[in-house]
Chains A and B, each alone.
Chain A
């Protein structure tokens, strides 16, 4: 299938003072692709997201979204923030939160209209959230709130959906649900999905490609080709080992233990002993 390129990063580099945060990132993402943006803390994942959102101009290189240069507040990019901390008494219904994605950037008071309601209902139904559309948003579970955040990002009909660690506060079951949901929406609507994650395991069955980021460098490709000991060792600049245990992937560092192992321990509810690598 010949799909159009929606995101093109041309040798992007970002430098804060003397510190190179991103170096020569050269990546193309096609419509409908599901990309897992994986990497340890401090690898530059958030910086890369801010570049794609147009909140940060790269010091080197250029980027295009659907063939156009990136603008701040681009409607072609739907952004799902990491988490919301809401008081249980927050005076908003689920649909009010989602409505912010439709016209939250406009001035004035939103006038209720049938069209507005219909548009909001549509995305609520896309994330299976219609059943709690009128519930107080602060009382919903983390997984339910995450679905609302996704719905909110879909309202601009984006070509790319960026999710900043959407799984980090979810239990393992909700995490898998969110991944499947996003992957289904991406396929159905032809939206490219870039999901940032610490632990790649929940994404393994859904992602088309992995964009692995370490020390400001990136490799992108299919999981089997990228998540290999030699590829990642070169990226990290020191020996790391990729282990595949019962369909799960662990990246173990030579000097420091990579967070993927820790995440797996937390995420899969096993006690530490179960994942000790024999």
Chain B
């Protein structure tokens, strides 16, 4: 029992910053898992990797100008997403993503140097920290999170259609370009609110890890999304608890836990692959 008390310290949730961390972490976990489902389906993993770093530059800029880092995160991540969407050529985003990323990182480095003694703040933004989220920020994160989930539910069908059958969706009157832009903006906002909790370097593991894991377990879209959300919540909750116990960065635990779960799922799937039977119906005479 004492061992369990060491992991789940009873006073953990009596600390206001831990309550904030759990609340914002949970919102972020749910959103990142759903966004991740589409990120993988559309092959946007590089953009999902780049946007947190682009947001990081914005946060250091915000610190330099003395404004709320969350504003800097949102502004940079969303403008980064818009640039990638606008300048990318019909589904090919790799090169432009890389360019936007290096421009942002360079600017971020400049902001950090000008701000001078921002090393601890930068460290927290890169790797995440437990006291990273204040009470008012929880509200802001919740609002942005709910908006993103609302947009994704509204766009669910056209987004799925366009991700799987782009030409078919276009023929049915869906504006592929507009849809892609809106989705990238959602990825940008998701990124921006994930960074204060998990950190810029590793927040992308929360977006990709759970969604990639479920592909080895189910091919049912709703179950897949539900399972992603559960894995994501489990990852964030255990990461927060372990970070509280050890004082190690949350980002490390998020990355390590999602990688372990992914490997377990992949290993299990290799031993018991998802099988399907073509039922023994005789095809009609063609």
Contact = CB atoms under 8 A, between A and B. Distances in A.
Interface of A: 53, 55, 72-74, 77, 79-82, 84, 86-87, 89-93, 96-97, 100-101, 103-110, 128, 130-132, 134-139, 149, 152-153, 164, 177, 180-181, 184
Interface of B: 37, 41, 153-158, 160-161, 164-174, 214-216, 218-221, 224, 274, 276, 278-281, 283-284, 286
A128 B220 contact: no
Given A93-B219, A93-B220, A104-B161, A136 B276 contact: yes
B164 A92 contact: yes
Nearest to A135: B276
Contacts of B276: 132, 134-136, 139
Contacts of A135: 276, 278
Nearest to B276: A135
A128 B286 CA distance: 9
Nearest to B153: A109
B271 to A, nearest CB: 16
Contacts of B215: 87, 89-91
A79 B220 contact: no
Contacts of A100: 157, 160-161, 164-165, 168-169
Contacts of B37: 91
Given A91-B219, A105-B174, A184-B286, A149 B168 contact: yes
A132 to B, nearest CB: 5
A106 B219 contact: no
| B153, B155, B220, most chain A CB atoms within 10 A | B220
A144 to B, nearest CB: 9
A70 to B, nearest CB: 12
A80 B165 CA distance: 10
8 contacts: A89-B215, A90-B164, A96-B221, A100-B160, A100-B169, A101-B168, A131-B281, A177-B286
A47 to B, nearest CB: 14
Given A53-B171, A84-B164, 7 more contacts: A72-B173, A80-B168, A81-B171, A90-B215, A91-B220, A97-B164, A106-B157
A135 B154 CA distance: 27
Given A81-B168, A86-B164, A149-B168, A109 B283 contact: no
A40 to B, nearest CB: 21
Contact of A104 (B160, B274, B284): B160
B172 A105 contact: yes
Nearest to B279: A131
Contact of B157 (A87, A108, A136, A177): A108
A136 B219 contact: yes
A170 to B, nearest CB: 14
Contacts of B170: 55
A105 B167 contact: no
A128 B285 CA distance: 9
Contacts of A92: 160, 164, 219, 221
B286 A107 contact: no
B157 A110 contact: yes
A35 to B, nearest CB: 18
A91 B286 contact: no
Contacts of B219: 89-93, 136-138
Contacts of B279: 130-132
B158 A104 contact: yes
Given A84-B164, A91-B214, A135-B276, A105 B158 contact: yes
B157 A107 contact: yes
A110 B167 CA distance: 21
| B154, B168, B173, B220, most chain A CB atoms within 10 A | B168
A84 to B, nearest CB: 6
A31 to B, nearest CB: 20
Contacts of B166: 81
A148 to B, nearest CB: 10
| B167, B169, B214, B281, most chain A CB atoms within 10 A | B167
B157 A105 contact: yes
B157 A128 contact: no
Given A79-B167, A110-B157, A73 B172 contact: yes
Contacts of B283: 128, 131
B165 A107 contact: no
A138 B215 CA distance: 11
Sorted nearest first, the 10 A-B pairs with minimum C-beta distance are A73-B173, A104-B161, A136-B219, A89-B215, A91-B224, A79-B171, A135-B276, A81-B167, A180-B286, A128-B283
Contacts of B214: 91
Given A91-B37, A91-B224, A181-B286, A108 B153 contact: yes
A106 B165 CA distance: 15
A119 to B, nearest CB: 15
A79 to B, nearest CB: 4
A132 B275 CA distance: 12
